[in-house]
């Protein structure tokens, strides 16, 4: 059996990712941005006392406030997210945690 066949046989099917508990997310730093622009705040988010995600942004869009993930600029001049929530539920939980902290900072 060659390695390609062996790799195919040992690859497990993707497992569903459980949603985080709200207690697993906490905003560790939030810096509000005064002014007329769309950027309203930068923040850092701690995940399950294991990871710190730096550089989330609170943006004022056409439909209200939303959370933008950290991004970096590629060589082509476009901006690319560096952090990706694995599901809509996790993205919603991140948004609720960040926007809740932003609202309580007023």
Q: What is the pLDDT of residues 13-66, one digit of tens each?
A: 666 655 555 568 999 999 999 888 999 999 999 998 889 999 999 999 999 999
43 CB neighbour count, 10 Å cutoff: 23
* Domain presence at residue 99: yes
pLDDT at res. 97: 94
The whole-number pLDDT of residue 4 equals 56
Total domains in the chain come to: 1
Q: What is the CATH number of the domain that holds 74?
A: 3.30.1120.40
User: Does residue 81 belong to any structural domain of this protein?
Assistant: yes
Tell me how far apart the alpha carbons of residues 6 and 99 are, in angstroms, rounded to a whole number. 47
Domain extent, residue 35, equals 27-104
pLDDT at 8 over 60: no
Q: In this predicted structure, what is the pLDDT of residue 35?
A: 82
Tell me the pTM. 0.74
User: Is pLDDT of 85 > 70?
Assistant: yes
């Amino acid at each position: 059996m060659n390695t390609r066949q062996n790799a195919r046989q040992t690859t497990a099917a993707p497992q569903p990712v459980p949603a985080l508990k709200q207690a697993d997310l906490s905003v560790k730093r939030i810096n509000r941005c005064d002014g007329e622009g769309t950027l309203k705040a930068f923040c850092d988010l701690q995940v399950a006392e294991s990871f710190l995600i730096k550089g989330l942004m609170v943006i004022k869009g056409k439909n209200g406030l939303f959370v933008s993930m950290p991004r970096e600029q590629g060589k082509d001049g476009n901006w690319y997210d560096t952090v990706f929530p694995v599901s809509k539920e996790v993205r919603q939980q991140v948004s609720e945690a960040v926007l809740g902290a932003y609202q309580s900072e007023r």
